[in-house]
Structure formats: structure tokens, C-alpha cells
Amino acid sequence: MSRENGSTILLTDDDKTFLDAVSELLGRYGHDVIPANSGEKALEILAKNGSKVDLALLDIRMPGMNGMETLGQIAERHPSIPVIMLTGEDTINLVVQAMKAGAKNYISKSAGGAELLTAVSTALEERRSLGAIDQDSTQFEEYGIIGGSPALKRVLSDAANCAKSIISVLVTGETGVGKDLLAWAIHTMSPRADKNFVVLDVPNIPASMFESELFGHTKGAFTGASENKQGMVQEAHKGTLFLDEIGEFPIELQAKFLRVLDTGSVRKLGSVKAEEVDVRIVSATNRDLLEAIGKGIFREDLFYRLRGIEIYLPPLRERKEDIRPLALHFLDDFLKRNGMEAKGISDSGVSFLEGQVWPGNIRELRRTIEAAVILTPGEMITQEDVARIMDRTSNGSGQTTIGNARDYADVEEMARQTKKNELTKVLERSGWNITRAAAELDIDRSTLSKQMKNLSIKKPKL
């Protein structure tokens, strides 16, 4: 819920008098009300702030997109938001039609305020109860894992159970699905959460340094070893060692690492003394390790030692229900991090995203959303905007590619330049008077001065 004692309610009605009266009533009982005078406006609000809305009250008779059509869109695009239909025509046919379309309840406009408040309270309480039951996905949002698809919920349930023990976990899945986030979540929810979470990025450690980085070394163990150094295994003592892309682990060191896991002790390079270590291992790979075993580049005994429990994190194309919440999360996060004006994404834009294959998975989706924010001039990212972005990263077959998606790796710099241009225009309009410019931007003078310094904005010399 948005607040402990109140909730955020979207109220949609084309009758301004009714809209104002109900808004005032709900406000007196601690609720935040977002008014909308049409179905189109309601859907626009949900596209921008759907995650903040706890309940929708919707007039069934409106010009343009009527209440039933709007209800259908809300049920399809925002299924977690309960809807109460409002009408001046209290007929059984409309009741049946609305309930079949997904409405939580139905109330006549002629009913009293007490009846309306009771219906609102009941719907919100039911949603709270469902939220308490359905915590498998929401409890992972703080770790950056967003979504509520059945496939993702199964993964998160397994991860939560694994977190309770120290069993080794092998997370498998394609590049970009979020294996590192799941590993971090498992550690953070475990009894070892207050200890180190050490990440060994296997493919990015030079072969000549791998043994030293993993096991540590003593002073003089080799040329350049000017002091004793703890290895990552020792750093992870009593905590978790995350082996990212374990499939790239050097075959010549796998037996030594297996001994560390079996004996609970490690010997630094150049030392004859073994040190006891207590390390929980979480590994991740996008490779088929059984195939690697068959090729003789991965030890079978190490594989089964690491694979206490295997958790497969499915690609985005197998859990398309997660694309909408992910897209909205990335949109909101990018806008906040870059201090940009509010912007939404249309339902048609999201539908277009849901129809893509996403070979780069969540990482590719994030870059696409960030690029769309930068390259879309208006307040709403449309299907056409998204299609244009996807076309720029297309391999010619209509599918995006991971390699070309890297063209947008510099979106942070693009956002910085966009912000710099926006501030410069305001400063120019104000004659470079910082006080007037700050007033136009609705920020204080010191904040604008800091932003100018961070963005290297200087008043031009005469």
C-alpha cells in the first residue's frame, strides 16, 4: 500500500461535481485521490503511475472510451488494481457485465457516502490480504528483481528456501536475465547477510593472476608480490562467494578449488600453512556445464559440488508478464537518477515491448527504455517511439541484438547532456540570473548552483 493509514485511489468520472464531492469525501478519510475526467485520462495516469495506485473507482457511462472499455484495459494491463464501478443506472445487467469484465464491486452513484466508504475499505483490505500472501515476488523488489509472472514466482520461492541454508546454489540462465541479482538476494536473505558477499567475475580475471586472486599469496611468492594478500576465498569467510560465469573457471585450478570446498581450508600461494575457511558458494553460468564436462573443460565432481540446488532463471521471452513492471521500473529509475521531468509509456508502447524476443533479456530492455527516454521529445513514449529505438538496434530481421544494443551503453552521458541543455536554455531566458532561473525551475538557488557545477555549466564571457 502507498501509505499505512491511507491509499491512493484513481477516481474516474466525467461529472466534475461528482468528481469533486467524492474526492473530498475520500480525502477526509485519509486517502490520496487522483482524479480523471475520462477513460483515456485514467489509462494515461496508470501508464505513468500504475504502481502507486491501490484502487480504481470508475464511472460506467462516459463519453469517448466508456467505463466498460476502460475496465477491460485496466484488467488486462494492471490486473493487480481492484476496480469498483460507479453508475447512475442500477440494473442487474450492468452488474453482471461489469463483474464478468473484472470489476471487484459495483455501486450506484445514488448510494450514500457510508456505502461507498465500506466498498472502498473492503476492496483495499482484500488487496492487502492478497499482498501478504503474494510476497514471493514483492519481497525481492529491493534487490532489483521486478515482476510477478508465475515463472518468476517459482524461481523466487526456490531462492527464498535456499537462502535459509548454506547449500551451494547454481543459478543458470541466459545472459542478461539477472542471475547476479538473484545471487545477491539469496545472500541478503540468508543468516550470513551481515557478512561479506564477494564476487569473483571469473572471465575477467587474467589467467596469470587467477590463483592469487582466488586463494591469496604471501610476500615474495612471485615477482611483484610485495606484501601478503588475502584471496577472495578468505575474504568471503563466514559469508558468500559468488562465482559469476563459473563455466569459464580455469580447468587447471578446478581440482584445487574443489579441495578447498571439501576440506574447508585454503593455502595461499607461497605458503605451507592452511587456513580454515567457512564459505557459502553461489555460482552462475549461461553455459551448458554438462556439455563442458563432455568436452573435458569442466570437472564433473566440481559440477556436482557446486550444484547443490540448481535454479534456472528463465529468459524474458518466457515470462512476458514481467515486461510491463520492468519497463515502468526502469523508466522511473532512469528519470530519478538523471533528474529529468516525468515521462510515461503508452499501453501500445508496452504491448510492442511485450511482442519482442529480447535476446539480451532484461539488460537489453533496460537499455531500450533508457534510450527511449533520451530520444523521445514528448511526455509519453509511444509505440512508434519504441519501434524506432528497436529498429536502431535491429540486425535486419526485426529482432534486436545484444551487440548492437551496446550502442546505448552511453545513455547516462546522453541524459547528462540533455539535462545540461535544458538548464542552459532556462539560464539564457533568465539572462543568466540564477535566482530567476531557480524560481522558474522550482528549485532553490543553491541546488541550481550545484547542478551547474556538476554539469560544467558556466556563464558565457561577454
Domain with CATH 1.10.8.60 in the chain: 317-409
CA atoms within 13 A on the CB side of 102: 20
The tens place of each residue's pLDDT in the chain, 462 residues long, gives 334 446 899 999 998 998 999 999 999 988 999 999 999 999 988 877 776 788 999 998 888 888 888 998 887 777 778 899 887 765 556 666 777 777 888 888 877 888 889 889 888 887 765 544 344 466 788 888 999 888 888 888 889 888 988 889 999 999 999 999 999 999 999 999 999 999 999 999 988 889 999 999 888 888 888 888 899 999 999 999 999 999 999 999 999 999 999 999 999 888 888 999 999 999 999 999 999 999 999 999 999 999 988 899 999 998 999 999 999 999 999 988 888 888 899 989 999 999 999 999 999 999 999 999 888 877 899 999 899 888 755 544 444 443 333 344 455 566 667 677 778 888 888 888 888 888 887 788 888 888 888 788 888 875
Could you tell me if 109 and 82 are in contact, meaning their C-beta atoms sit under 8 angstroms apart?
Answer: no
The owner of cell 529480447 is: 358
Residue 201 phi, psi dihedral angles, 5° rounding: -85, 85
Domain with CATH 3.40.50.300 in the chain: 141-312
Q: What span, in angstroms and rounded, lies between the C-alpha atoms of 323 and 317?
A: 9
Domain with CATH 3.40.50.2300 in the chain: 8-133
317-409, CATH topology level: Helicase, Ruva Protein; domain 3 (1.10.8)
10 Å Cβ neighbour count for 216? Answer: 23
Residue 335 phi, psi dihedral angles, 5° rounding: -60, -45
CA atoms within 13 A on the CB side of 284: 22
**Does this model's pTM top 0.95?**
no
Where does 141-312 sit in CATH, by number?
A: 3.40.50.300
In single-letter form, the type of residue at position 86 comes to L
Given 3.30.70, 1.10.10, 3.10.450, 3.40.30, which CATH number is that of 414-454? Answer: 1.10.10
Q: What span, in angstroms and rounded, lies between the C-alpha atoms of 62 and 12?
A: 9
Where does 8-133 sit in CATH, by number?
A: 3.40.50.2300
Residues 6+ away with beta carbon under 8 Å from 294: none
Taking only Cα atoms into account, the Rg of the chain, rounded to an integer number of angstroms, comes to 27
In single-letter form, the type of residue at position 253 comes to L
